[in-house]
């Protein structure tokens, strides 16, 4: 007899890999006193709030952490990870979005980051050499985004522009 599976309990998260018109990616350094991933370089990340969809959460997190308006161009990847100890309260399922800027604007860092830089994919791969899981994930996400960009037919990004969440 098959056993009945218990429903999962986990948080949902989003990541926004933002690319500007010059083709550079936004890299942000987490502040020293963060509870997880202190001083690690990353893209926009955050949790999905109750009653919020992935896309809505992405736009909220991007605005909170950078002050930028972006448009979704592709889903770059999915992830499963623990923010620290492998316990239910730390488990996250995540969606990473590749994003373009709606309009060029200055980054306005929120409280979670101490500095930012724009880097080409090649420079970012050379820069992201730390061996912690967050840095490895970020480097691989940039590599995946670049590989997908080569494969995307013209107009592909426009398909995602209005979102895919069902109302």
Say yes or no to pLDDT of 154 above 50: yes
* CATH classification at residue 83: 3.90.79.10
Q: What's the pLDDT at 156? A: 76
Q: What is the mean pLDDT of the chain?
A: 90
Domain annotation covers residue 82: yes
Residue 49, domain extent:
11-148
Residues 6+ apart with CB under 8 A from 42: 15, 27, 28, 29, 30, 134, 138
Average pLDDT over residues 141-159: 88
Q: Quick check: is 158 in a domain? A: no
pLDDT in the model for residue 161: 66
DSSP 118: E
Instruction: Give Dmax over CA atoms of the chain in angstroms.
Output: 60
Q: For 39-62, what is each residue's pLDDT tens digit?
A: 899 999 999 999 999 999 999 999
State how far Cα 127 lies from the chain centre.
Answer: 18
Q: Of 48, 54, 52, 64, which is closest to residue 11 (Cα–Cα)?
A: 48
Neighbour-count burial for 113-134, b at 16+ CB within 10 Å, e otherwise: beeeebbbbeebeeebeeeeeb
Please give the residue that has the higher pLDDT: either 134 or 7: 134
How far apart are alpha carbons 18 and 116 in whole angstroms?
12
Query: Quick check: is 164 in a domain?
Result: no
Domain count, the chain: 1
Mean pLDDT of 16-40: 89
- Please report whether residue 23 resides in a domain: yes
Q: What is the pLDDT of residues 70-127, one digit of tens each?
A: 999 999 999 998 888 888 888 999 999 999 999 999 999 999 999 999 999 999 999 9
Q: Identify the pLDDT of residue 1.
A: 44
Q: Is residue 16 part of a domain?
A: yes
């Amino acid at each position: 007899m098959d056993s009945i599976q218990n429903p999962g309990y986990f948080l949902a998260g989003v990541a926004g890999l933002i690319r500007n018109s010059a083709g550079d990616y936004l890299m942000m350094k987490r502040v020293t006193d963060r509870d997880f991933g202190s001083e690690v370089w990353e893209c926009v990340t955050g949790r999905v709030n109750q009653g919020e969809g992935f896309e809505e959460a992405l736009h909220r997190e991007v605005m909170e952490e950078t002050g930028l308006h972006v448009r979704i161009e592709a889903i770059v990847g999915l992830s499963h990870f623990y923010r620290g100890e492998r316990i239910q309260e730390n488990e996250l399922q995540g969606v990473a979005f590749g994003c373009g800027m709606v309009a060029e604007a200055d980054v306005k860092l929120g409280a979670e980051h101490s500095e930012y830089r724009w880097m080409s994919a090649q420079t970012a791969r050379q820069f992201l050499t730390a061996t912690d899981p967050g840095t490895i994930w970020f480097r691989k996400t940039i590599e995946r985004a670049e590989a997908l960009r080569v494969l995307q037919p013209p107009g592909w990004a426009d398909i995602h522009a209005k979102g895919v969440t069902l109302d």
